[in-house]
Amino acid sequence: MSTTWMVNQLQSLAENRQNKAKRYNPHPPGVLQEGGTSAIVLDFLKINQPRLFTAGQLIHAVGRSHAAVSFALLYLRSQGLICSTERCDRRNTRYLKYRYNTNYKSVSEAEK
């Protein structure tokens, strides 16, 4: 194998990567999908706005798995769509209660 051959191979590989068209992703990250657990949990919390719910109550209410609801709660908290607070009985600080964040402003609302 010569060095020239290897350089030619690397150049052709780089050209092929540049010429590839970007593929369309129907489910881009960071977008709530209609019917997804995150959207269902958010809708449930919006409807029952002043109330606080534990993760167990949300799992029972929306009828989705523990893993799906847990991920939805983590995602919605990271986006600022919901708020969490510690339970009053202080059994364990990891047990949180969740509610819809009424102070949330979306990017389009913030630009106005």
Per the structure, the count of domains in the chain is 1
Distance between CA 24 and CA 9 in Å, rounded? 28
Residue 111 confidence class, pLDDT cut points 50, 70, 90: very low
Residue 15 lies in a domain: no
Report CA dihedral (29, 34, 35, 40) to the nearest 10 degrees: 90
Mean pLDDT value across the chain: 82
Residue 81 lies in a domain: yes
Domain containing 85 — which CATH number?
1.10.10.10
Range of the domain at 63: 33-101
Residue 19 lies in a domain: no
Q: Residue 11: what pLDDT?
A: 84
Residue 94 lies in a domain: yes
Per-residue pLDDT tens digits for 17-47: 666 667 787 777 778 888 899 999 999 999 9
